[in-house]
Structure 1
Amino acid sequence: MSLALWGAVLGALIGAGVLLVASRLRVIGRPQLSTRVLPYVRDVPRPGVAVVRSTPSGPTTTVAGVFGPVLRSAADAVEKVLGGSTSVRRRLERANLDMTVHDFRVEQVIWGLVAFVVAAALSVARAVQQPASALSLLLLCLVAFALGVLARENRLTSQVKTRERKILAEFPTIAELLALAVAAGEGPVAALDRVVRRSGGELSADLAKVLAEVRTGQPVGEAFDKLAATTGLPLVARFAQGVAVAVERGTPLSDVLHAQAADVREAGRRELIEAAARKEVIMMVPVVFLVLPVTVLFAFYPGIVGLSLTAP
């Protein structure tokens, strides 16, 4: 395939893309029927029909507005291939991300398209020099798309782990503050409100949600039980269950909180010791391969030099 033909193909693709974007922007610019009619009939009751107002949210709103139908179709296809919507939903909750599973699938498609475009640009530059490798380069672009989709899911898992590490680091301090507030004579809700107002962080955000649910009328025990069910950390789940049991049965809450904080600190020390034991062999690598050879060289080199000088 000649260079002029490649230029014609690329020009046709760019022109088709510009026309597609222009047509979509023209459609988006038109006021919708619901926008013109709903302000006049919003208060009119319609039996059996609920008015759903969609509000754009998430980082992909602009892109989804232009290429909405294509992205939604691609997101549905990714959902059918990968599956695991329950696991994704739970990880989104644990990462405290305000998006649905479908929004996350759209982000996966966008990551895949970015990887595809980068691989396609490199492939076109390579295909100009070697036209015979066009099929292998196309397969490379498809693999890049799949890797981009999987990279977004791995990013979500890393976000969950990072947030949970922050929660474990904040937990002892939050538990001690709650214990001090309860020991000073405040009730569980007042102590929770004081700690949430005086602190910041991931665990404080979770406790703020619990406080909001309590203020809307949900019992304290049920709110903490919900926190225990949604969190992915066993220590935080035990803390929430302990608080719920202490509130329901009337046991001393300060003792429970002090014990929970001590358990978390002890678990942190135990985890540090276990990590050091797992990395003991890796820690010996610089000693064996760097320090020991230099020490042996310093010990034997003078003797070798002396023998070479005294030898006839």
Structure 2
Amino acid sequence: MIDSRTLVVGAFLGLLLGIGLALLAGLLPWLRRRDLDARIDPYLRRSRSASLFSAPAATSRARVVAENLLGPVAQRALGVLERLTGGADQLERRLRLSGRRSSTDSFRIEQVIFGGVGLVAGVAIALLAVGTRGASPLLGLLIVLLGVLSGVLLRDYLLGVEIARRASRMAREFPTVADLLALAVAAGESPIAAMERVARTSSGALPDEFAATVADIRSGTSVAQALASLGSRTPLQSLGRFGEGVSVAIERGTPLADVLRAQAQDARESSKRDLMETAGRREIYMLMPVVFFVMPLVIVFAIFPGLAVLEISV
């Protein structure tokens, strides 16, 4: 009789052998699909000089290291991750919303690491389930796959948590920053100088974004375009409306201090509404210990003396 643990180890080794053979078969020239770029590349004339504005985006160092170490396994894994959690453009936008300055390839490598940790945890749980509980090897394989998928999705979920935390931090900072901008503009400074002053004298997620906006304007970007990119880089919707309002006020000559004070008041009202919604949700959560813990104890203390008296009288 074959031991269940030996059967699981054999199935795992067979799975590794099958994956290796499939990768080797995919690298054969007559089985590998050639894309359009590879077919027309030999017939294109290459220029000796390249323009700085049309230079292709360089591949990140993390992706190069992973591809050199793992070869086609890294390419297939990164391709699967892009299909599971969205394309490169969507991931790039989410990274900018979270405030991270790393590349998409670095985040994919982190997802692969989380998937590897999930693989190890899944193999350990599968061996325990098959060895001690006598579960089927198919269930063990399913546990391993669920471990890998859970690790990958966990890293994506943590990125979403970072975006939500940054949005809440910016929502708390926005009314104060808008008041500081209004004071600086009312004192006679230009909008760009006011944003630069706030970025220099304050600290936080929102002053850092204002510093990046001032740097874009100093580098030649128009004010309207820089303010629009400020709204697209941040997860707070009120900042998008703030950028549009400031750009319209600058174009039409509207008093900017009044616009900034109105923006700050709108931000405070929005924070009050969010606080009321949060309080309404927490009120429901607060009823759970009352219903499941306090009320049963009250009923016990109310009925138990009567039952004791009845027992004594009987």
On whether the aligned pair clears a TM of 0.5, the verdict is yes
1:302 CA drift (Å) = 6.3
1:109 aligns with 2:120: no
Aligned residue for 1:204, secondary structure, equals: helix
Partner of residue 238, structure 1: 241
1:254 aligns with 2:250: no
1:112 CA drift (Å) = 1.0
Partner of residue 173, structure 1: 176
User: Is the contact made by 2:163 and 2:235 (CA closer than 8 Å) also made in structure 1?
Assistant: no
Query: Could you tell me which of 46, 49, 53 is aligned with 1:47?
Result: 49
Output the TM-score relative to the length of structure 1.
0.74
Q: Report the Cα distance in structure 2 between the residues aligned to 1:82 and 1:47, rounded to whole angstroms.
A: 37
Aligned residue for 2:136, secondary structure, equals: helix
Aligned residue for 1:240, secondary structure, equals: helix
Alignment of 1:27-38 (within 5 A): none
Query: Could you tell me which of 187, 194, 217 is aligned with 1:191?
Result: 194
1:284 aligns with 2:284: no
Change (3 A) 1:97 1:4: closer
1:208 aligns with 2:211: yes
Partner of residue 278, structure 2: 275
Partner of residue 78, structure 1: 81
- Equivalent residue letter for 2:49: P
Q: Report the Cα distance in structure 1 between the residues aligned to 2:305 and 2:135, rounded to whole angstroms.
A: 63
Q: Report the Cα distance in structure 1 between the residues aligned to 2:156 and 2:275, rounded to whole angstroms.
A: 28
Partner of residue 93, structure 1: 96
- Equivalent residue letter for 1:220: V
1:287 CA drift (Å) = 3.8
Q: Report the Cα distance in structure 2 between the residues aligned to 1:55 and 1:133, rounded to whole angstroms.
A: 44
Identity across matched positions, percent? 38
1:305 CA drift (Å) = 6.5
Question: Unmatched 5+ residue regions in structure 2?
Answer: 18-46
CA RMSD of aligned residues (A): 3.7
- Equivalent residue letter for 1:47: S
Q: Report the Cα distance in structure 2 between the residues aligned to 1:133 and 1:291, rounded to whole angstroms.
A: 45
> Greater relative contact order: 1 or 2 (C-alpha under 8 angstroms, separation 6 or more)?
2
Change (3 A) 1:173 1:82: closer
Out of 299-308 and 253-262, give the one that drifted further: 299-308
Partner of residue 141, structure 1: 144
Aligned residues: 279
1:226 aligns with 2:216: no
Change (3 A) 1:127 1:219: same
1:64-87 Cα offsets, whole Å, 9 max, x none, are: 663365323310133235544443
Q: Report the Cα distance in structure 2 between the residues aligned to 1:4 and 1:218, rounded to whole angstroms.
A: 65
1:74-130 Cα offsets, whole Å, 9 max, x none, are: 101332355444432321121122233343333222211211022223434555557
